[in-house]
Amino acid sequence: MNRLLATAALGLLLSACQMVGPDYTLPDQAAVKRGDLQGQIAGEGSNVVSAPVPADWWKLYNDRRLDELVRQAMASNTDLRVAAANLQRSRYQVQQAESAGGWNAGVKAEAQRLQESGEAFLLTEKVPVANIGSVGISTSYQFDLWGTLQRGIESAQASADAAQAAADIARITLVADVVRSYTQVCAANEELAIANESLDLQRQSTELTQRLRDAGRGDETQVTRSQTQYKSLRADMPRYEAARQAGLFRLSMLLAKPVDQLPAGTGTCAELPHIAQLLPVGDGAALLKRRPDVRQAERQLAAATARIGVATGALYPDISIGATIGTVGILDDLGTAPTNRWGFGPLISWSVPTNGARARIHEAEAATQGALAHFDGVVLNAIRETQTGLAQYTAQLQRRDALNEAGESAKEAAGQTHRFFQAGRASFLADLQATRTYTDVRAQLAAANTQVAMSQIDLFLALGGGWESGRTHAAPVSKP
């Protein structure tokens, strides 16, 4: 008895001080620790500011219809449901890892009509047929002497954290898709209205050219050229309707409801969402802490590191202590002294590591190096996406501002030409041409505004904003 107690005490002592495999710490050579990636993101004259990125960045548009679209998408999107299910599964995997080892108990009861072999008991005669039964209760405690089970828990918990980050990625991607699709619908309607104006002006120009030809003041070539321009503009009209329908169908899928059940006015929106302030982009350090894909990659590295310990633990024996009590014999005699049995003691189980155990350790170490390389790649890509998005946004703003100046000039020229026409100093055709030029610049400006809006969305997506205020929560897991 004293030896058994000493064995148990030794096992508990060892389990408290032995851990196989490396402890996880963020490597010093990891890209996320580089100082040159921690600095300011906003560049001078880039129309952004180094202020914290708001959690609900889409609310900067002050568009209630857009807010409602995002809210409904959060409630019913299928990608978020998948992410929530994956997160729930990972949490149960943590429970499973936490339940491994430690105390284990079982109950077994059996009854059967049995013909035993006489020779199994070194008897030459036949053993009588009898009704045999057994009842047993067993319990055991497995010591985590080398920390193998603890490493398994660490791996499962890190994987669950990575699943949470994946759910956050799904959320910010969903928000960006909703805003992008809504912007596409509004842009298509706005550009369609301008295109209709251009088409109407070209129709008037064609009719005037035909009248001039009929009056002997023009030729057939001018008419043909004008008709060609009219047909070309008319041929481009279905493109805007197709873009509008594509945006609506995309919203329908994201919200998991038919187009006719989208919030009122979604399909007729004709004004682009607009942010009337400098875009807040934070800095590099905040970016790397905020982006869910960076957190996901870091947690995957932690899980891979813990799996080295799990693989290393296979080199060592498993030690447990257990006890059993029961009764085995003829049914009528169960529970009597001759049928009762009990026992307790330690159990050592060790598989000699000749079946590739060491190779599995090296495999886990290589996987950790791969996870570190992936983590570094995600960090560098986060910086690249943000800087690229900022550069594109700045360029689109500059182009829009230039077109806006051109639009002001075209508007002024159209106004002057129209006044000359009213005073008899310019022809009606010149008036139409000036107005059509202004309309063409307006169409280019509308397309430029659309590109600015899309660049804003891409930039916010690169910044990783939008997951903090609405994490994807699975149902709580209750331990048995």
Mind listing the pLDDT tens digit for each residue in 171-187?
Answer: 999 999 999 999 999 99
Location of each CATH 2.20.200.10 domain in the chain:
104-143+316-352
| pLDDT value at 40 more than 80 | no
pLDDT for 109 equals: 93
Average confidence (pLDDT) over 210-225: 78
Residue 208: strand, helix, or coil: helix
Query: How far is 314 from 309, CA to CA, in rounded Å?
Result: 9
Residue 39: strand, helix, or coil: coil
In the block, which residue shows the tokens 């050579």? Answer: 29
Location of each CATH 1.20.1600.10 domain in the chain:
21-101+147-315+359-470
Q: 137: closest CA among 348, 336, 340, 337?
A: 340
For residue 79, give both structure tokens: 């990608």
Of the listed ranges 9-23, 114-128, 297-311, 320-334, the least confidently predicted one is: 9-23
pLDDT in tens, 223-234: 787 788 888 889
Quickly state the pLDDT bin for 107 (edges 50, 70, 90).
very high
Average confidence (pLDDT) over 361-390: 92
Average confidence (pLDDT) over 276-300: 86
Query: How far is 108 from 113, CA to CA, in rounded Å?
Result: 17
| pLDDT value at 48 more than 70 | yes
Global pTM? Answer: 0.81
Q: Which homologous superfamily is 21-101+147-315+359-470 in?
A: Outer membrane efflux proteins (OEP) (1.20.1600.10)
- 148: number of Cβ within 10 Å: 23
- 158: number of Cβ within 10 Å: 23
Average confidence (pLDDT) over 313-319: 86
Quickly state the pLDDT bin for 472 (edges 50, 70, 90).
very low
373 contacts: CB under 8 Å, gap ≥ 6: none
Amino acid at 178: V
> What's the mean per-residue pLDDT of the chain?
85
Average confidence (pLDDT) over 389-401: 89
Query: How far is 268 from 185, CA to CA, in rounded Å?
Result: 8
Query: How far is 68 from 413, CA to CA, in rounded Å?
Result: 42
CATH of 104-143+316-352, one of 2.20.200.10, 2.60.40.10, 3.40.630.10, 3.40.50.2300: 2.20.200.10
